[in-house]
A = this chain, B = another copy of it.
Amino acid sequence: MHIIGIDIGATNTRFVLLKDLVVLRSRKISTPKTKKEIIEVLEKNIREIAIKPGLSKIFGIGIGVPGPLNKKRDLILNPPNLIGLKNCALPEIIEKDLNIKTKIENDANCFILAEARTGVGKGAEIVVGITLGSGLGSGIVVGDRIYQGFFGNAGEIGHMTIKFDGLKCSCGSIGCFEEYASQKYIKRRTRISAQELNKLAVKGDKSAQKIWQEFGRNLGIGLANIINILDPEVIVIGGGISGANKFFMKSARKEIQKRVLSPISKKNVKIKITKFKGFAGAIGATLLFNHYEKSSCF
């Protein structure tokens, strides 16, 4: 059974073609800005990646998209980091154009579904995933299922307030976690990208390493909130910035020890770094086709 998984991020869009849960082909492209361009680029790349075995043999297309979404999962609402997709009924458009069953889910939910079923969260009862990239995404898996919330938008942890009189967020709110623990923070603080800051830190640049420690402190504040509220067994850190974890996780862990109430939870919660190299979200999107049953395939 061939399934295509797609992960539309604010910066990059990733595609995978899976057959019987083995990745046959993958690619990464830049994400365009407008709705029209995004749909054109999606359909062009779907056709190309499906050239063998042919489009008619594709069982389904799973797409991770920036949230929030409606509960029925047929509409993207108002994603602050990719406004081109505002009010876009993406599954209907793709299904109509390509005649293949298409499902969408919050991108961070796809990431954590992959981690909880096949990655470093495998076997854990309650898993929270955090993706550190252009923004900060997150998803919650309880008992192998995505916890979607009653209206379908649980897990918007990036928009939790951690400093109510702090920085203004692209969502319109103030002091969101995302403003302090994503690419946005690094760019504002240093005028360079997280990738460049990581290179400097690797070279031994002390001031770069210090900024990563600050970043880790901010991340730890938000993770402590998650532990106080959800008390998960495992937290998985992914996204492009997670590669710099050796420079920020020590200060993040220190902040967790300071801010979590339960001595048992803060001692025992496992915080793990993703082992997938960027394609977790796209692989997780293919799992939407057996989302509501425990996968026996992995």
A-B contact pairs, 5 of them (CB 8 A): A67-B261, A70-B264, A152-B262, A162-B164, A163-B175
Q: Which residues of the other chain, B, contact A224 by a CB distance below 8 angstroms?
A: 161, 173
The residues in A between 12 and 26 inclusive whose CB is less than 8 angstroms from any CB of B are none
Q: Is the CB of B261 within 8 A of A151?
A: no
Q: Is the CB of A259 within 8 A of B154?
A: no
Q: Which residues of the other chain, B, contact A163 by a CB distance below 8 angstroms?
A: 162-166, 175
A126: Cβ under 8 A from any B Cβ: yes
Q: Give the oligomeric copy count.
A: 2
Residues of A at under 8 Å CB distance from B? 67-68, 70-71, 77-78, 80, 124-126, 148-157, 159-166, 171-175, 218, 221, 224-226, 228-233, 258-265, 268-269
Q: Give the complex CA separation of A263 and B150 in angstroms.
A: 13
Q: Which residues of the other chain, B, contact A156 by a CB distance below 8 angstroms?
A: 228-229, 231, 261-262
Q: Give the complex CA separation of A41 and B228 in angstroms.
A: 31
Q: Which residues of the other chain, B, contact A68 by a CB distance below 8 angstroms?
A: 261-265
Q: Which residues of the other chain, B, contact A161 by a CB distance below 8 angstroms?
A: 162, 221, 224-225, 259
Quote the shortest CB–CB distance from A120 to chain B (angstroms): 16
Quote the shortest CB–CB distance from A134 to chain B (angstroms): 16
From B70, B71, B232, contact of A150 by CB (8 A): B232
Q: Is the CB of A149 within 8 A of B80?
A: no
A68-B262, A150-B233, A153-B262 provided; 10 other pairs, C-beta below 8 A?
A: A67-B262, A77-B263, A80-B261, A148-B231, A152-B231, A154-B230, A155-B229, A161-B225, A173-B258, A226-B229
Q: Which residues of the other chain, B, contact A149 by a CB distance below 8 angstroms?
A: 126, 230-232, 265
Q: Give the complex CA separation of A219 and B175 in angstroms.
A: 15
Q: Is the CB of B162 within 8 A of A264?
A: no
Q: Give the complex CA separation of A10 and B68 in angstroms.
A: 40
Q: Is the CB of B261 within 8 A of A159?
A: yes
- Given the known inter-chain contacts A224-B161, A230-B229, please indicate yes or no for A125 contacting B150, CB distance below 8 A: yes
Q: Which residues of the other chain, B, contact A151 by a CB distance below 8 angstroms?
A: 231, 233, 262, 264-265, 268-269
Quote the shortest CB–CB distance from A254 to chain B (angstroms): 13
Q: Is the CB of A153 within 8 A of B261?
A: yes
Q: Give the complex CA separation of A162 and B228 in angstroms.
A: 13
